[in-house]
Chains A and B, each alone.
Chain A
């Protein structure tokens, strides 16, 4: 290429609109932070959430306009799949910001940088979900990852936070290397990094060795990002060390965005050689569910337990990708949405149990909380039931969707392994309820009312979890439309 390809910047520029809005908000937050030096100013979170709301509104508008063509020389797609994830990621980030407000008030962290990094990471996530080219995908992944590495190490006075950041950064860089190497093989096999061109090459040549090598390496890279076993080993330490709100952000935002890109690459580019990867993903799904759930059982720290549970949930979600039918893909999309809210909520309650001097992450710290703080208690009941997949919660609807898609496609064995895993998970999710309601405790808490933003986050998550659980038809239809636009 000799000159800048001007045509690349024409076409449907609006596909980048939500991401650009979030990026601009991040800049604005940094600028405002420099002007307003009041450490308690609410301007920053309000600005951040408003920016995310505008971005989500833009995505909703584009949804109505769709189908819209690709933008930027087909490197970004504005399909409903990308837009669905855009709205979901904006919601997840907005809740993360809301959840962090009270935390930042109690801890001496740089607020401007914190919110700006969350927004920048969200920008990366949004582009990750929209990327139609492996180089853009890589860039988006790095924008997201670098911001999250920094967020992980934000509690600079705490050794475990720093350790987590370093661990995450080193292993993450390593995994990115795998991904990049895989991209190189794809380029060697297909002569392009566009997903569509790769799909064409796959259709034309079948599974050539470079293609298989590329597939294997990309799988490792994504496996690390979404924490599939056996690439999950970093997860518990990093999740435990990071500030809880950042952990929540990682568990939902990073995972959902990486899953979105993962599914797009696997289905849109490599759908032609599904026989080569579906068996492998089957094994990864079973392994991820089982390792996550079995190790979670023995955790004494609720934060670590939630980390392992998030691994297990990646395994459930992967069932949708193994099945890869329209129902399976829609179930995957729906599950990631449901998972976002219930997990954010659970981390929210965990955060509400913390005090400045001690985080209150041990299982024993939860003793008797249920009766002394009914709102927190009942919220946690809803989240635990939802994570365990018990009706009438969103988690049940999500699992039901996944398992029904699996049974429908003939994967009855996978569905049975899935429900048996749910059974194991009941043991440790209910273990939290045992502590909260059946053990007496005296540990004093900050009254939830003193942290209004955190309480609001939890209440929103509870309402979404219950509403989607009781009336899942609408969100399911959106997920179906989103996945249908992938092809």
Chain B
């Protein structure tokens, strides 16, 4: 019998959470170590998966199938392709980092925090790997509950408000998506005589243009709230500001990607006609989000809010790249999902570290940190530049490909979006300047500790990957592109597309 690798990846964190729940509450160090080890297990499995993954293969690999609820044709089905491969790896990588980072800021109810984090990991990994829509929905909702607790229990002053807002926003979309999924299953039955929720079965249904419009809207609403697409983003700043550092990292690093992943995996290929019809709307909202997010980020006095709004802007690029339907920009979008997970994750970690020391996140409370904590300032510099999109770091490649692929079909939108790159440089560099450079204006900052070994260990893997992905992207694209192109083959880009080169060709002419 073949080893059920994906099941091991998905459920090993849950098993870890259950074991953790049975361990004694004290000493917390033991709990933290145990959780760290448990979170390395799925990472190890995911690494093994990467090693055995066949590049150049567009279809799902390591497929697992089992009957689950035969009355509805629901199956337990997992599979990984080029789109989900690196998102799984990103998730599996960020969780141990968050466990390590929580050493500093989570001091009460440690056991529950770590257990919820591991349950959340199962939900995230399952959502990326599920290829049955019912199973996907179960994992999708499973993510909601632990995140709700992470924000609501370990968050800041307005945590309850933020947690409830997060849940209600997310559920509005996902419940309507549930109805859409049911409708699709019913259509499968009308076509083939029996219910089914398999991804491939949904793809085979010839939905009419009118049906597609409704179904796409229902799916898109769920995903757009998660991304978040302007103007559905209002939950995000609240959730980010109130969430503990680990929660923010997971939220920005992985949960937002659920939205863009959902568009690419489900909403676009399942309902291509509607996606094409509504693409101008989505592109317009994405571009508005890019500029709006950047402008609002510029004027934020609070570091965490600034990073939160920068997410709105960055995810706008991803959405733009997806909805111009060119292979170049779609590849750029998927790449940018990973980039954003790493660089914004790093920024949230760094903001969390300074908050632990000073218990403030206001930019005005800092200044001149370079002379006090140079190691921190250097790490911050790299993360910030990765987020800006400096060539040589990962963010550049993603944004470059998105804009390159988008320019042909939608030159105006691309032109406006490009201003987002400039604005990103503005608000990030200006923020960095006010925090790190200049004279030391606040005496409290004079005695700050520099990064500890643990904190360096938290940051190094993330920032090292930023360099790797910025300097040598080919191995990533080789694995991603066949699957992305296969999904895009169902969609037709508006006008002039044929000329845009593939991502690899664009980078290595």
Binding site for B on A (CB under 8 A): 371, 381, 385, 390-392, 396, 400, 403-404, 407-408, 412, 415-416, 419-420, 422-423, 426-427, 430, 433-434, 437-439, 471-473, 476-477, 480
Contacts and interface: CB of A to CB of B under 8 A. Distances in A.
Given A391-B142, A480-B71, A419 B109 contact: no
Contacts of B458: none
B472 interface: no
B109 A371 contact: yes
Most chain A CB neighbours (cut-off 10 Å) among B68, B168, B171: B171
Contact of A390 (B70, B71, B144): B144
A391 B266 CA distance: 20
B179 to A, nearest CB: 5
Contacts of B182: 400, 403-404, 407-408, 415
B153 A426 contact: no
B138 A391 contact: yes
A439 to B, nearest CB: 8
Given A391-B142, A438-B152, A404 B185 contact: yes
Contacts of B137: 391
A276 B292 CA distance: 55
B148 interface: yes
A405 B152 CA distance: 35
Nearest to A389: B175
Contacts of B164: 427, 430, 434
Given A420-B175, A423-B172, 8 more contacts: A403-B178, A404-B72, A407-B186, A408-B182, A415-B182, A430-B148, A433-B148, A477-B71
Contacts of A407: 179, 182-183, 186
B210 to A, nearest CB: 13
B69 A473 contact: yes
B167 interface: yes
B176 interface: yes
Nearest to B67: A473
A415 B144 contact: no
Contacts of A472: 69
27 contacts: A371-B109, A381-B145, A385-B145, A390-B144, A390-B145, A391-B141, A391-B142, A400-B178, A404-B72, A404-B182, A407-B179, A407-B186, A415-B179, A415-B182, A416-B179, A419-B176, A419-B179, A426-B167, A426-B168, A434-B152, A437-B149, A437-B153, A438-B152, A438-B153, A473-B70, A473-B71, A476-B69
B297 to A, nearest CB: 29
Contacts of B159: 438
Contacts of A437: 149, 152-153
B126 to A, nearest CB: 10
A407 B214 CA distance: 14
B interface, over-half SS: helix
B112 interface: yes
Contact of B178 (A385, A419, A433, A438): A419
Contacts of B112: 371
B179 A412 contact: yes
A84 B145 CA distance: 33
B179 A390 contact: no
Contacts of B175: 419-420, 422-423
B53 to A, nearest CB: 29
B163 interface: yes
Contacts of A434: 152, 160, 163-164
Interface string B127-157: 0000000000110011011001100110000
Contacts, number: 81
B425 to A, nearest CB: 39
A412 B183 CA distance: 8
A438 B160 contact: yes
A interface, over-half SS: helix
Nearest to A371: B109
A177 B278 CA distance: 58
Interface string B160-201: 100110011001100110110011011001000000000000
A95 B257 CA distance: 44
Contacts of A404: 72, 182, 185-186
Closest 10 CB pairs of A and B: A419-B175, A391-B138, A407-B182, A438-B152, A473-B69, A404-B182, A391-B141, A438-B160, A408-B186, A390-B141
Nearest to B214: A412
Contacts of A391: 137-138, 141-142
A480 B138 CA distance: 23
A403 B71 CA distance: 15
A404 B163 CA distance: 29
A423 B189 CA distance: 28
B190 to A, nearest CB: 10
A434 B160 CA distance: 7
B186 A427 contact: no
B110 to A, nearest CB: 12
A476 B71 CA distance: 8
Contacts of A412: 179, 183
Nearest to B134: A400
B67 to A, nearest CB: 8
A295 B163 CA distance: 22
A385 B146 CA distance: 12
B191 to A, nearest CB: 14
A434 B167 CA distance: 12
Given A390-B144, A391-B141, A437-B152, A473 B68 contact: yes
Nearest to B140: A391
A187 B10 CA distance: 61
Nearest to B71: A476
Interface in B71-100: 71-72
A433 B70 CA distance: 34
A407 to B, nearest CB: 4
Contact of B171 (A400, A415, A423): A423
A263 B351 CA distance: 60
Contacts of B163: 434, 438
B160 A392 contact: no
Nearest to A377: B112
Contacts of B149: 437
Contacts of B183: 407, 412
B308 to A, nearest CB: 21
Contacts of B185: 404
A412 B164 CA distance: 28
A430 B153 CA distance: 13
A226 to B, nearest CB: 25
Nearest to B151: A438
A214 to B, nearest CB: 35
Nearest to A438: B152
Contacts of A471: 68
B112 to A, nearest CB: 7
Contacts of B160: 434, 438-439
B245 to A, nearest CB: 18
A384 to B, nearest CB: 10
A412 B215 CA distance: 12
A375 to B, nearest CB: 11
Contacts of A408: 182, 186, 189
B145 A416 contact: no
Contacts of B189: 408
Contacts of A420: 175
B168 A427 contact: yes
A3 to B, nearest CB: 50
Contacts of B179: 403, 407, 412, 415-416, 419
Contacts of B109: 371
A24 B164 CA distance: 51
Contact of B176 (A416, A427, A433): A416
B120 to A, nearest CB: 14
Contacts of A400: 178, 182
